[in-house]
Amino acid sequence: MKNKFIVCNWKMNGNKKLVTEFIDEISESTRSQGQGIPPKIIACFPFPYLPSLSSCANSADFENTDIISLGAQDCSSEERGAFTGDVSANMLRDIGCDYVILGHCERRKYHKESDSTILAKALSAIKNNITPIICIGESSPCKFDIEIQQQITSSIPSDGKIIIAYEPVWAVGAPYEAVSSGHISRAISYIKSCIHPAEDRCLGVLYGGAANTINALQIMASGADGLMLGRAGMNAKEVLDIAQICSSNQKN
Ligand SMILES: O=C(CO)COP(=O)(O)O
């Protein structure tokens, strides 16, 4: 059975205190948890706070590195050099990052990232042994057929381990009622049929966009292999509740 994932995308939010409290609360609770198949929680803090988790993960009192992993929110496609402000995948690997979110709709919008840029970044991540979490999603529900196919063809590498996050642009930041399980279920099964789910290299197709404790069970029942959380992902209690929902879904 495949691992389920909960990706906490903090975007450009938080501070040192909130990051430390989040890590403490998650590690404390997962340490005292009993049996079950807990999903992997991937904490994607802003760049300056990534070392907080890597230093905890290296310390003796942080025993659950299998449960919580470190992810970044972007990386460069370049290895090194005169690229002011950029961070390379090999730097992320150096501080213990195992995952990187690529092609989030906010990067596509505000940084004008194209599918080919995202593909180049994904190849660099894979080369540096970091699993890219590649975001795809249509700009409006009626554009699914045209835009998703194009994004799959042009931004997803044909080799190497990947996670895909289906994040319809219209659902990101929306009220949770915006999400229809029928739409998610059709989208996830279409994406899985394009990616050849039998291939072990695709670790999962996640869903992101207004997911929270209220709709998590319904979304997981729509065939998602996990959730990518924005607002809900900054609240440790909510993340733990959603983790519980994912593991109960996994048992069924
Ligand atoms: O962008 C998202 C996760 O990457 C989703 O954000 P919200 O969960 O806040 O809608």
Show the tokens assigned to 55.
Answer: 């230093």
Confirm if 236 and 28 have CB atoms less than 8 A apart.
no
Q: Are 122 and 112 in contact (CB under 8 A)?
A: no
Max CA pair span of the chain: 51
Mean pLDDT calculated for residue range 228-251: 91
Looking at residue 19, its pLDDT comes to 95
pLDDT of residue 3: 86
Q: What is the mean pLDDT of residues 79-85?
A: 98
Q: Can you tell me the mean pLDDT for 232-250?
A: 91
Lowest mean per-residue pLDDT among 29-38, 161-170, 176-185, 210-219: 29-38
Distance 220 CA to ligand 1 centre (A): 16
**135 CA distance to ligand 1 middle (Å):** 11
In terms of pLDDT, which residue wins out, 33 or 19? Answer: 19
Residues 119-144 have pLDDT tens digits of: 999 999 999 999 999 999 999 989 99
9 lines ligand 1 (CB under 6 A): yes
User: Quick one: average pLDDT of 215-232?
Assistant: 96
Q: Which residue's alpha carbon is nearest to atom 6 within ligand 1?
A: 230
Q: Is 104 a catalytic residue?
A: yes
What sections of 3-159 are H helices per DSSP? 16-31, 50-58, 89-94, 105-110, 115-127, 144-155
CA of 178 to the centre of ligand 1 (A): 12
Q: Determine whether the shortest distance from the Cβ of 246 to ligand 1 is under 6 A.
A: no
At 68 the pLDDT is 86
Q: Is 99 exposed, middle or buried, given 0-12, 13-18 or 19+ CB atoms closer than 10 A?
A: buried
3-state helix, strand, coil in the chain (%, to 5): 45, 15, 40
Q: Which atom of ligand 1 is nearest to the CA of 171?
A: 10
Which tens digit of pLDDT belongs to each residue from 91-122?
999 999 999 999 999 999 999 999 999 999 99
Q: How far is CA 123 from CA 102, 201, 207, 221, in A?
A: 11, 14, 22, 31
Is residue 103 lining ligand 1, measured as CB closer than 6 Å? no
Q: Is the pLDDT of residue 28 over 90?
A: no
To test ligand 1's pocket by mutation, which of 45, 109, 167, 169 has the most ligand atoms within 8 angstroms of CB? 167
Domain boundaries of the chain, sorted by first residue: 5-251
Cα-to-centroid distance, 63 and ligand 1 (Å): 28
For atom 7 of ligand 1, the residue with the nearest CA is 230
pLDDT > 90 in the chain, percent: 78
Write down the mean pLDDT value for the chain.
90
For residues 165 and 133, the answer to whether their CB atoms sit within 8 Å is yes
pLDDT of residue 155: 97
106, 113, 138, 167: which is the annotated catalytic residue?
Answer: 167
Predicted pLDDT at 250? 67
Given a cut of 60, whether residue 58 has pLDDT beyond it is no
Identify which has the larger pLDDT, 113 or 33.
Answer: 113
Pick one of 3.30.420.40, 3.40.50.720, 3.20.20.120, 3.20.20.70 as the CATH number of 5-251.
3.20.20.70
